[in-house]
Structure formats: C-alpha cells, structure tokens
Structure 1
C-alpha cells in the first residue's frame, strides 16, 4: 500500500493515515492546462481558483503542506479545536460554491478532470466533517497529525538540518495543545475500543521520532535555539506521558463506540473514496466470481507442483470437490512457505528483490523506469500496526528526494509461533511479490511518473484506486512478462496475493455493512484466500480501524484491466505494451475512469 498522506484539515477527519497529498502552491505550482492546448479564459479562471484553494488548504493544514513540499508553514501544526474544525468546513463550502459557478464545460479536457476531482474532494470533506465526524470519535486523526508533524520534517533533507530542527522545535511546542484538543473533542462513548487501544499503543512512537530523528542532530543548533529545542523535547515528553495516562485510564476503559459505520455511511464514503462507476454490489459480484476463478487456477498450478512428489494428496481429480481443491492448494503452498527469511532478514530481502525486479523491467522494456532509486527503510514506530509495508514518495513539490519503501519489523514481543506465522505469509516469494507491488514496477515507479504531471491539484488529490490498482496490475505485468515462468510456486504466490486483494474488497463491506464477525472474517482470509493467522489477525484489526480503503486495490485493478482491454481492442495489431503503460502513467493519478475517457476520447463526466 502507499502511505496516504494527511489531508487538509477537513479531510484529515476522515481517517488517520488515509489521505492524499496536497500542496500549497508557490507561484510555479499551479494547475496546468493541456500540454497541447493553450489556456482559454475559463481555464485561466480555474487555474487561479485552484491555486487559491490550495493556498488556503495549506494554511489550514500545515502538516499536509510539509508532506507535499510546501514549507511555508513548517513551524505550525493543524488546528483541531472546534474553531479550527469550523474554519475548515467553511473553507470547503466556500470553495465548492465557487467551483459550481465556473463554466466547467468551457475548460480543457484536462482541467475538466481536475475540476471533477476537486468537486468530489470538497464534497467528501464537507460530508466527513458534518456527517462522519471523525474528529469526535476517531483518535487516529490526532495521532497521525502529531506523528506526521515531526516525521515529515525530519525524514527527508529538503532544507538544512538547523532549519528543520527549528521547525521541529516549534511543532513540538504545539503538540501538547493538539493532545488537549483531542481530549476535548473525543466522546469516549463514540470511540470504538479498537481505535482507542491502537492509539494507546502508538502514542509512545512520537517520542521514538524525537529520539531517533531529532536528538541525534540536535548539536547542529547552538545557543538559544538549542535551549528552545531541549525545553520543547522535555515538555513534549511530559505531555506524551500525561496523554498516555489519559489514553489508558480514561479513553480505553470508556471507549464504547461501534467500529462498523453501517450501510448508509459506508455507501456514501465508498462513492467518495473510489470515485468509480462500480457500486458496492457490483464489487461483490466481481470479487466472488474472481475468487472462484483464481482458486481454480491455483488448483491447476498446485497439481503440477505436486505431481509425483512424496506426500502429495492422494486425490487430485480434474473436477475436485471443495475439500479436495483446498487440500491440494494448501499442500503446494506449504512448499513455498518453507522458503522464508530469518526474522531479521526481511528488509535485506526486500532490497534484493527490488533490485531484481528493476533489472527485469528494464530488460523486458515493460515501462519507462525512473532514474531515481527507491530507499528501503524500517517503518517508523508511530506508523506500525496498520500494514506490513508501504511506499512513501516525496511530495510533488519536493524534487530530487528519496522515495521510501518502508517495511515493518517483526515485533520483539511476538512469540515464536507468531513469528513463524508471519514469515509463512511473508515468505521469500511473497517478499518478492511485495517488492513488485510497493516498488518496481508498482507504487514507486507509478508515483515517480505521476509527479511529472504538471497539475499540482491532480497530484495532491490523487486517486487511491488508481495508485493501488496500478500496483496490483504491476504484479500481473510481471507475471505476464515471464518473471515467474520457471517457478510455479511463485505463480502460486502471485495468485494468492490476488486473492488477498479480492478478500480485502469483500471483507471491508462485509464487516462494515453486513456485520461479519471475526470468525467469519478469519474463515474468509485463512481458508478461502489462504492467508496465515498473523496476516489475517492484522487485517481484521485494519478493517476495524479503516473503511473504504481496502477495496481500492481490487477496484482499481479491475478498472485498469478494463481500460487495457478497451485500448487493445481499439489499437489492434498496433498495440504496444510499453507505450500503453507510459501513456496511462502520463496523466498523473486521477480516477481510472478519467484516464479511460481521455484515451478513448469519451466525454468527461
């Protein structure tokens, strides 16, 4: 997954760690017109409007501004007081009214898309603030801002260290007030217990950022600046300790909220988050059919793997019963699970597999490869507990900086059984699959292309389904190109990862709308889609903490496949795979339906 960035204040209220990456716009960072068509009067009007929107959004969400590469507000953090929340809502309503008054039909096709994306985002922001009200029940909102405030400053060298340390000092001085806002706004009766427990575990991670990223560089400040930093650190340590006591003694024991958001809220949120023509019901229908088809493919591969092997299941008929199919696939997967890294070698393997995948993409000429490398790192502590890995690119205004492929280490307090379960799921071949998804030719490559698109607005309001769908499609690119032709166990793991994405989409709606229980969820994950207990248990937690994000992988993947099929049909024998991939990636990261409309010359809706 990508580590979605903190949104402007209203959008930050949706969910922690699930957002886009906007930019407050320096003069050269405006929404661009078509590369092939000069801006008309309406286009110029829209460009001025979108720049004003971004400027105001950055002012309201300084942490977001830092992440996207606008560093005018690096010494400030978001205001999540009741007044700050009201100002964010007023901002969204004001700009939505202005947008509705623009003659969108008079815009270039590219700006029509940007206007549609912004309209969806503004409506999403208003809905999130007024209807979903995450600020009143989701403590992750505040936790992500506190952690992101410091991590965004210290993780990348966008400015000299002394300058970043001064900004970090100013933000550390303000974080205790954010804790106060959190304690004031949250209604424990509405806070789900799983949210409270997760934030209570993550809270200390804020100090780990200070200890690992701030203090090792503190000697670069002298005199009064160093004194201010030391005092800010001391004050923050006390505030984190006091906040931890409140989390453990007040919030967790009194957290009585329902984590399932229900059918009405879910369908509304899904429509905003996906910006896709696929409905919840259509997603379920597609998923169920694809699960059946993929399991059939896995059975055929597994039979070939197990043929004449000692200990293979006695019966492997052409038309197996569900029990026979399950037994044969599981037996073949056990062979893949046996090849796994040591618990301290996961990051090393991620690095090596990324290098191998990059070499293969270059050799086969599948897509243009960016010159900049991806950097594999340990996931920061305050981000752990939601996913095992993510891709964290620099903001579109930060040029020449590293993209991180962050891998979560195995927790020190896990038992050996838990470690074994984790490494069975993230075996050697699965780490290769993960590196394809997160790095090459997945998230890292796609986002490197996207950051070249001249529209800052489109870059900061990028589509989760496009991004996640491309990463899943990247796995298919590699499989189709022969990356795993000589390794049927790799082919099996590839299908298993496809099943994971399918399960994600089904799981999300089944939990939040249909009331799926933990036992039912574990059955879907560990039996139907062959996930290990540790992976499934973690996904159960993630599905409780988030909503409408887990479907983005499968929905985007389905739309990418539909687009390619339509383009191949149009091009016929002239179809060129690399040219197709480069063209798809040249539009930034808008919802896939807009790329389809551009490429097939359809009206922009």
Structure 2
C-alpha cells in the first residue's frame, strides 16, 4: 500500500551553515535558523494559508458551507455561470501554486496529510472544470433545495432570522436556474430524468409549510410581502427549469442524441484517482473484486449446504452452487417487514445496535448526538433506499437524519421485491452500515477531529469503507449469535459491495448493457429484481462512487491486520477503532501513515 502523502520538491532554501567569527573583536554573525525553527516557521505559514483557504472556500461554495453547518454565508447563493466557474478555477490554480511553495518535509504528519488532501481537492476542481465538465451534461447538478431545507429546518438561529436569510438567498434562485439552462449543452439521459424528479421534489421546500412559518413569524408586513414575491419567483424558476428539461428530454428522445452517460476508461481512471485515493488503479481494484467475488461464492455455498437440510428436508440440492445459494436466500428472504412497518422496524433496531456496541466495548458512543429516522425528502429521492445526512463540524449538535425511502408508497409488487431484499436479516446489516456503528457513528467522530480539513474534505472510500467494515466487525464480535442464516445474508450483502465495483467498472469502462448488468446482479449476486433495477439506475447516474465501498473496506481490514501484527498482545480493537476514527474523513492510506507515525513515535 502506497502512501498518498506527496513528497514535494524542496522549493524554499532555508538551511544554512552555522558560521561564527573566530575573532572576538569581530561582530558575531546572526545564527541561521535551526531545523526546528524552520519547521515551526513552515508550519505557521501553512496554518495561515490553510485558514485563508477555508475562508475563501466558503465564500465560493456557500451551499456546501451550509451543509457543513457554517451559516455565516447562508444568505448567499452562487449563480453557476461562466464567470462563477472562472472564479472557482482561479481559486484552485492560485491556491495550488501557494501550497506548492511549501516544503511538506518540514511539516508534522497531521499538517502534511492536511496538505495532501488540499492539493488533491484543488487538482480535482481544475480537472472537473477543464476536463470532466459535468456542468455541461449533468442537469441534476443544479438543485437549490438542500441548503434551503437546512436553513429552514435547523435551529441554528431564531426562525425570524432564518427566514430573512432564506429570503435573501431566495432572491437569486431565478438567476441560478437561468445560468443552469445556459450552462447545459447535451445532457445524458439518466441525469436528465433524475434532475426532473428531484427538482419537482424541490418545490416541496418552497411549499405550504414555508408559507405557514412565514405567516406565524415576526417579520414585518413589508418583509412578508417581499418574501412572498421572492417565493413566487423561486417556484416559477424551478418550474420553468423542469419544463426546460422535459422539453429537452422530448426533443432528444426523438433523435437519441443524448450524451453517453458512460465516461470511458481514461476519464474513469482519472476520476478514480481523485475520488478514491487508495494507491491503486481502478482496473487493479476491479480485478481484485473479481477474485473476491469468487471467494464469496465459495463461502456462501458452504453455508447454503449447511442450511439446506433445515429448510428443504425433503428436497434434493441442485448441482449448481449458485442455484443452491439462491434457493436458501430466497427462503430466508420471506422473513421481512411489511411496507407499512418498514420504517418503524428500522427505527426499532437502532437502540439494540447501540446496546451491543457498548456491551462488547467496541466503541465509545456519544449518546447526546441525535439520530432522527425520517422519510427521504422528495428532493433527495431516486438514488438510494437508505442514506445518512449528518451535520458538519461547524454545527456538531444538529440532528443527523437517517433517510428511508417511502416503501409504503410503492406498488405492491415493487414493495414486495424491496422488502424481500431488505428482509429481517439484511435490515440489521443495513442499520449497522447506515447508523451504528457505521455512518452515523463515524461522522460523529469526524466532527470531533482536530483537523477541520480532514472533516470537510471527506474521502468517500474511507466513509463508505468504514460502514462496510463495521458490518463484518459486528458479526465477528458475536452480533446475531453467529447465526449461519445471518452470516449467509451478510455474505450476500458483502457480495453486493464487491459487485458494486465490478458493475460500475463494467458499465462505465467496458460498456455493458442493462441486460448484462441485471444478470450480474440478479444471477451472480442474488439481488432482488427491484434492488437490481435501482442499482442499474444508480450506476448510470454516478461514476466511481460505487467502487468506494469495496476500496475502503479492503484497506481498513488490511490496516487492522497490520496493526494486529505490529502490536501483538497489546492490540485492542476499541483503541484501534477510536484512533482510526480520530483522523476525520481522511483517505485510509493517509490514516495508515498517521497511525504508523504515531506508533513509531511511541
């Protein structure tokens, strides 16, 4: 495993020989700075530059700032036109140059890793704007609703103050969507459909609940009048954008001249490098996933053979191992919640997981950080069955939301398929992944990290990898009493993680079609039809992100084994977990370097 911390060229000639006059009558020359002094000076320069970088970052990206709990810029809304993109590009190139002038060898491990994350982020921005250019073909990039919803529903300030912020921000919504329409050229079809759905959902943020809060507020009559006009203009802008997209969709359907949602090998490898940061190529990870898939099939076949007499005492086993595995999984999948009780069952399991983690001393949990299970808001639907929205480091005490898709609203056949997928066994793995000790727990720890950079420049492979790692860790610790049924379902879930990597690479690089993708998920990975259809859609909407689960998980597992070997009897699982999480959302190779550096120091 290679470190992601770059070795920068020495650009500052700060060392000098220590020369003193031998003649006592001659004035003594000033002593050159020692290495300790130059390191301190470099660190101070870096810290000042890092602070400037963060301050300018939030001025450029106020919507992102709001998501991180930084509300000083909440009344601002960036208008995504050419001038704005040039400002972002200038920011990235200027700070790339400034940070490149620092000698990372004179920084401590924490500062050096911060520098590496910043440099990757700045390089990624330049690549996005100059090469990837999703702003020209992904209309789902344009949606104002999330930050508005946070301003409205987060009690960071009195309601009247938040409504005034909301109003000022809302004044720019028409210009925002006008710029979006002008920025788009030929969209990709899946992104076009998603953009229509989510922007139609965005109207709910600007609906009746908002009007009621305005009516009950202490705003003056003039303020309410201005707010109401801006609200009308904002809704009209969103509706016109939706109509614009629908018209474009109709026109492109006739000619089938959509932009291909597949980005190809070159762009995929470049995006993988910036997004995943694990020290291997996308192709190498793909090949590793193929090997892991074969191993999981063998483990699942062994468990299916063990369970077969229990569930099919009068039936002969099929010769094909995939058929045997599938039959047992289908039988176990009959145990599931109803579509009306699914969300309640999710909520019910959270305290049970917390109790297990505490009882088995796996992690220290912060009971004061609220977790709210809710139905996925309309403007966020169409991407995943479940997800987490966590507060950022500037507003650590705000709610974390566990979003659950409204399965109760689905047709019976689709609901039944999803419920069989997220059956009573897999629901437990899902809750471990999304909540405790997965995403929710990890993001609470991330907000406590002393490094703001490591929290805000989060690495998706570490975040998703941790959630996947905890699934296995919990079962290894005895969750589920080592039930072979739960372990078989866990392997199915873990196979999904591995298949995500295979699926994403084969769609985006190898160009497989929907039929082959469905075969891969349903036949080879035992997924229900509804889940597989949803994943196909997701894989057409994003690139690389689906590889983050396996990439991060494999690295974390390898790091745990490495630390076990180095520490021997001194290894403590809880200490490993808490030390690992203390570094925020850093890439796993960066965390490895920091943990090894600390171990060497001890």
TM over 0.5: yes
How do residues 116-155 of structure 1 correspond to structure 2 at under 5 angstroms? 116-143=116-143, 146-155=144-153
Residue by residue, what CA displacement relative to the aligned partner does 1:268-317 show, whole Å, maximum 9, x if unpaired?
0100001111212221222112111112111222222221434665136x
> Hey, what's the Cα distance between the residues in 1 that align with 2:533 and 2:52?
44
Residue by residue, what CA displacement relative to the aligned partner does 1:201-243 show, whole Å, maximum 9, x if unpaired?
2221111122265234222143222222222222222222222
Residue by residue, what CA displacement relative to the aligned partner does 1:536-556 show, whole Å, maximum 9, x if unpaired?
111111111110111001000
Secondary structure at the counterpart of residue 398 of structure 2: coil
**Equivalent position of 1:445 in the other structure:** 441
> Hey, what's the Cα distance between the residues in 2 that align with 1:202 and 1:544?
16
8 Å CA contact retained: 1:60, 1:79: no
1:411 Cα deviation after fit? 6.9
Residue by residue, what CA displacement relative to the aligned partner does 1:457-503 show, whole Å, maximum 9, x if unpaired?
11110111111000000101111011122532221211111011101
1:261 Cα deviation after fit? 0.4
**Equivalent position of 1:106 in the other structure:** 106
Residue by residue, what CA displacement relative to the aligned partner does 1:241-276 show, whole Å, maximum 9, x if unpaired?
222221111245326111000111100010000111
**Equivalent position of 1:366 in the other structure:** 362
Q: 1:250 to 1:309 in 2, by over 3 A?
A: closer
**Equivalent position of 1:76 in the other structure:** 76
**Equivalent position of 1:263 in the other structure:** 265
8 Å CA contact retained: 1:68, 1:395: yes
Pairing partner for 2:583 from 582, 587, 595: 587
8 Å CA contact retained: 2:343, 2:404: yes
> Hey, what's the Cα distance between the residues in 1 that align with 2:312 and 2:549?
38
Q: Which moved more, 1:565-574 or 1:294-303?
A: 294-303
Pairing partner for 1:386 from 383, 386, 391: 383
> Hey, what's the Cα distance between the residues in 2 that align with 1:400 and 1:123?
32
Q: 1:453 to 1:486 in 2, by over 3 A?
A: closer
Q: Does 1:60 align with 2:60?
A: yes
8 Å CA contact retained: 1:349, 1:428: no
Secondary structure at the counterpart of residue 40 of structure 1: helix
> Hey, what's the Cα distance between the residues in 2 that align with 1:588 and 1:40?
24
Q: Which moved more, 1:491-500 or 1:293-302?
A: 293-302
> Hey, what's the Cα distance between the residues in 2 that align with 1:530 and 1:308?
20
**Equivalent position of 1:277 in the other structure:** 279
8 Å CA contact retained: 2:190, 2:537: yes
Secondary structure at the counterpart of residue 550 of structure 1: helix
Q: Does 1:528 align with 2:524?
A: yes
1:568 Cα deviation after fit? 0.3
> Hey, what's the Cα distance between the residues in 1 that align with 2:350 and 2:459?
24
Residue by residue, what CA displacement relative to the aligned partner does 1:118-169 show, whole Å, maximum 9, x if unpaired?
11110001000100011111111112xx122312212321111111111222
8 Å CA contact retained: 2:198, 2:379: yes
1:38 Cα deviation after fit? 13
Pairing partner for 2:296 from 273, 294, 297: 294
**Equivalent position of 1:25 in the other structure:** none
Secondary structure at the counterpart of residue 329 of structure 1: helix
8 Å CA contact retained: 2:311, 2:328: no
**Equivalent position of 1:233 in the other structure:** 231
> Hey, what's the Cα distance between the residues in 2 that align with 1:505 and 1:312?
38
> Hey, what's the Cα distance between the residues in 2 that align with 1:208 and 1:578?
43
8 Å CA contact retained: 2:311, 2:331: no
Q: Does 1:200 align with 2:196?
A: yes
> Hey, what's the Cα distance between the residues in 2 that align with 1:312 and 1:581?
46
Secondary structure at the counterpart of residue 407 of structure 2: coil
For structure 2, which runs of at least 5 residues remain unmatched after alignment? 1-36
> Hey, what's the Cα distance between the residues in 1 that align with 2:67 and 2:38?
31
Instruction: Tell me the number of residue pairs that the alignment of Structure 1 and Structure 2 aligns.
Output: 557
Residue by residue, what CA displacement relative to the aligned partner does 1:432-476 show, whole Å, maximum 9, x if unpaired?
111100110001111111111111111110111111000000101
Q: Does 1:545 align with 2:547?
A: no
Residue by residue, what CA displacement relative to the aligned partner does 1:56-99 show, whole Å, maximum 9, x if unpaired?
11111111111112211111112211100111101100000101
**Equivalent position of 1:578 in the other structure:** 574
Q: Which moved more, 1:509-518 or 1:167-176?
A: 167-176
1:561 Cα deviation after fit? 0.7
Q: 1:508 to 1:313 in 2, by over 3 A?
A: farther
Secondary structure at the counterpart of residue 204 of structure 1: helix
Q: 1:308 to 1:409 in 2, by over 3 A?
A: closer
**Equivalent position of 1:28 in the other structure:** none
Q: Which moved more, 1:262-271 or 1:372-381?
A: 372-381
**Equivalent position of 1:43 in the other structure:** 43
Secondary structure at the counterpart of residue 405 of structure 1: strand
**Equivalent position of 2:396 in the other structure:** 399
8 Å CA contact retained: 1:165, 1:214: no
Q: Given the two structures, how large is their TM-score scaled by the length of structure 1?
A: 0.89
Q: Which moved more, 1:206-215 or 1:386-395?
A: 206-215
Pairing partner for 2:405 from 400, 404, 408: 408
8 Å CA contact retained: 1:203, 1:382: yes
Q: 1:305 to 1:215 in 2, by over 3 A?
A: farther
Residue by residue, what CA displacement relative to the aligned partner does 1:13-43 show, whole Å, maximum 9, x if unpaired?
xxxxxxxxxxxxxxxxxxxxxxxx9982111
For structure 1, which runs of at least 5 residues remain unmatched after alignment? 1-36
> Hey, what's the Cα distance between the residues in 2 that align with 1:360 and 1:38?
49
> Hey, what's the Cα distance between the residues in 2 that align with 1:352 and 1:550?
28
8 Å CA contact retained: 2:469, 2:556: yes
Q: Does 1:167 align with 2:169?
A: no
Deviating 4+ runs (over 3 angstroms): 308-313
> Hey, what's the Cα distance between the residues in 2 that align with 1:467 and 1:426?
22
Residue by residue, what CA displacement relative to the aligned partner does 1:556-579 show, whole Å, maximum 9, x if unpaired?
000001100100000111111111
8 Å CA contact retained: 2:137, 2:184: yes
Secondary structure at the counterpart of residue 41 of structure 1: helix
**Equivalent position of 2:593 in the other structure:** 597
1:178 Cα deviation after fit? 1.2
Q: Given the two structures, how large is their TM-score scaled by the length of structure 2?
A: 0.89
8 Å CA contact retained: 1:154, 1:213: no
